[in-house]
Amino acid sequence: MDIKSIILAAGKGTRMKSNTPKVLHKIMDKTLLGYVLDNVKNIADESFVIVGHHAEEVEKFLGENYKNAKAVLQSPQLGTGDAVSKACPFLKDYKGLVLILCGDTPLITEKTLKEFIEFHKMQKSDLTVMSAIFDNPTNYGRIIREKDDSLKCIVEEKDATPEQKAVKEINAGIYCLDWAKISPAFNQLTSNNAQGEYYLTDIIEWGKKNKLSVNAYTLKNNEEIFGINSRLHLAEATKIMNKRKLVELMENGVTIVDPDSTWISEDTEIGKDTIIYPSTYLEGKNKIGENCKIGPFAHFRGGVEVADNVKIGNFVEVKKSKINSNTNAGHLSYIGDSEIGEHVNIGAGTITANYNPITKVKSKTILHDNVKIGSNAVLVAPVELQEWVNVGAGSVITKNVEKNSLALTRSPLRVIKDWVKNLNN
C-alpha cells in the first residue's frame, strides 16, 4: 500500500527566542526537520511539509535538501487540523495511508514508525494514534480506551475529569490514516473551542461517529516523542540522541573511551575495532572504517570518509574529505575538501588552504599514495601532489608537484652570531 506523510512545521516556536524557524534548529549540524524527513524517507514516497512561520526559509531548505518533500503554506495558523487540511488538495484522489508527524520530534525512529504502520494494518484500522506511557502525564491529552482496548477518545487535560487525569497514557501526536476514509473529516472539523482553532484530535470523534475503526498504538520508548520547544529541550534531545548513538556503536564493536565527552552524530558510520578517544566531536554525515584511531580532541564537520587503519589525532579538524587506508594525520592539522591516498603522513600543523576569501570558492587538495608532508606546511588549493612526493617542513605549496619529487619553499637559514650579546651592549 502506498504511504505518504504530512509533517507539521508551521509553528513559530516562541520559546526558542530565535529568528530561525524552530524546525531548522540543529542537532549535530542536522536540522530537526531533517531528522523527521530522514526517518520517513524509506517509508513514504512523498512528504508534505506544512509551513507557516518563516515559510520561505523552510521551503528553501526543502528545495535544497529533500526533493521528495513539498512545502505547503498554512496562513494564518488555525490549528493542527487546519494544517493537515492544507495538504488535502494534493491528495484529492489518493487511496493509500497517510502518516502525520510533527517537525520538532527528531528522536522518532524509522523502526518505530514501521512498527506503528504494521500495527495499523494488522488491526485493520482506519485511524491509529500513537500513544506513550508517562509517569507524569501532566499537560498531555489523555488516551481513553474502550473496553475492547480500541480508542474511545483523547481528552485534553483542561477538560479531563479527576479519573481521566489519573490515566498515564497520553497522545504522542503521530497518526496513521486510511486517507480515503478519514480525509472527509477535514472538511467537517469545527473551531468551537476557546482558541478558535481546528484540532487534529477531533478526527477521532469524527471517526467514531462514522463507525470507523479507531485504535491507539503504545510506543515502547517514550523518549522518541520528545518535542523541542526551547533551547533547553534542544540540549536534552542532543544528549539523548548522542547516548543512543554511542550505545549502538559500542554494541557493534567500536571502542568509545569516554562516552561522557564524546559526541557522534546519528549519520556517522564507524567500523568495528575503531577507537574513539575522549573529547571527539563528529557532526554531520561521516563514514569511518575499521581499526582506526580518532582523537582525542578530533573534529569532523561532515562529509568525511575514512578508510581502514587511519589515525586522526588530537586537534585535527576534517571536513568534506576522503582519506584512504593506513594514512596518519597525528595532530594540529586542518584537512578540508581533500582527497588523500594510502600511506600518507601529514605532519603536525599542516593546513589545506581550501578557501579563497575573495572569490568565495573552495578548491580541492589531492594527495596521492605515499605522500609525506612535513610539519607546518600549507597546501594552497587547488593543488595535486603525485605519488611519493615529500614536502619539507614549513613549506607553502602553491603548484602541482610531480611524482617522487621533494617540494621546498623554505628560505635559507641565516645565523647572526652574537646578535643578542651586541643588542645588550
Environment class of residue 367 by beta-carbon count within 10 Å: exposed (0-12), middle (13-18) or buried (19+)?
buried
Environment class of residue 232 by beta-carbon count within 10 Å: exposed (0-12), middle (13-18) or buried (19+)?
exposed
| 400 three-class SS | coil
Give the alpha-carbon dihedral of 259, 36, 38, 121, to 10 degrees.
110
DSSP label at 92?
T
Give the Cβ contact number of residue 361 at 10 Å.
Answer: 11
C-alpha 182/C-alpha 185 separation (Å) is 6
Is residue 24 within 8 A of residue 32, CB to CB? The reply is yes
Copy the grid coordinates of residue 241.
Answer: 540522541
DSSP label at 220?
S
Active site residues: 331
Which residues 6+ apart lie within 8 Å of 54 measured at CB?
20, 21, 24
Copy the grid coordinates of residue 206.
Answer: 469524527
DSSP label at 378?
E
C-alpha 81/C-alpha 393 separation (Å) is 65
Radius of gyration of the chain, Cα coordinates, nearest whole angstrom: 28
